[in-house]
Structure 1
Amino acid sequence: MSSPDSPPSGCASFEQELVNAMNDFVNTTRTPHFDTATIARGARRKRATAIAGIATALVVAGAGTALAVGAVGGGSDTSRPAAAAGTVADSTTLLVRTSDGSTAKEQLAGATSARVRATLVHFGLTPTFTRVQKADCQKPEDAVVSLSPHAPTVVHAGDTVLVTTCYR
């Protein structure tokens, strides 16, 4: 049996050379230097570039969707002058993707809750009603004042539409 300080027989010179080589490496190799500020700045730049790219893609996709909806148009709405189209008309305009792929446009401003329910059910939508008190509530008293979602968002069969009607 040998002592812990003595090398095993037959391997003394190789082991000693290996230990000497490792000690030389440890004593002569420079410690690596990392510039953490530059690394963090690069990561932030990459993240900002990725976010900007995604935002640009979403804007382009949204513009394409708006153009497609405008190009498809159609539906059961009759033409009306541009001056009559205001924010009230936009919040009560419903765009529905029909089963044949076209888009139907329904103007529901001032319609009764019964008519709106029938229209939404006809398109396979689920209506949810809420009422708000308004001093300038139109006749009939349960007239539609807003829809959610409304144009330019297109709804599909199975979607739920929140209908807000008014009372005095």
Structure 2
Amino acid sequence: MTSYGDVRPSGCTPFEEELMNAMDRFASSTEAPDFDGPQILRRTRRRRSIGIAAVTAALVAAGGGTALAAVSSGGSSPTAAVTRTVTNSDATTMLYNDHGVKIPVDFSGRDLTLAKQELLKTQTKLGTVTKGSVKNCKPGSVIGVDPHTPKVVNSGDTVNLTICAG
């Protein structure tokens, strides 16, 4: 019997040789795992579609159907989702055409200074400013925009404002 310190002609000690043989036997005896790629892909797609259906159902149940319709309309612009339903009075809301996307701009309750700043942002011109009276309005606040929703305003157009006389 030889000790583990003896060197074999292969250049390995008996321990190293035994270790190599054990590792070879283990590598040869285990089976490779079997992955079903198409099944994994089907499961992933099914989970994704169920998730989308759940989110859609939650939006519709919560009253987000309008937002869902705006997103699923398939507009070419990535900002198409910005379009929203106007909830305030159409008389104080202006629809601004920004490269094919209609963006509602609500002036209700704003004073003349803030309204002028908003017109500068949309690159529209301020036309005439008239005074009017509406029940329970804050003096100096915008109570009317011309043209207003559903008409669309483009850059360079003139917008007339009506403010509360008090």
Structure-1-length-normalised TM-score: 0.46
* Structure with the larger RCO, 1 or 2 (CA within 8 Å, 6+ apart): 1
TM-score norm. by structure 2 comes to 0.46
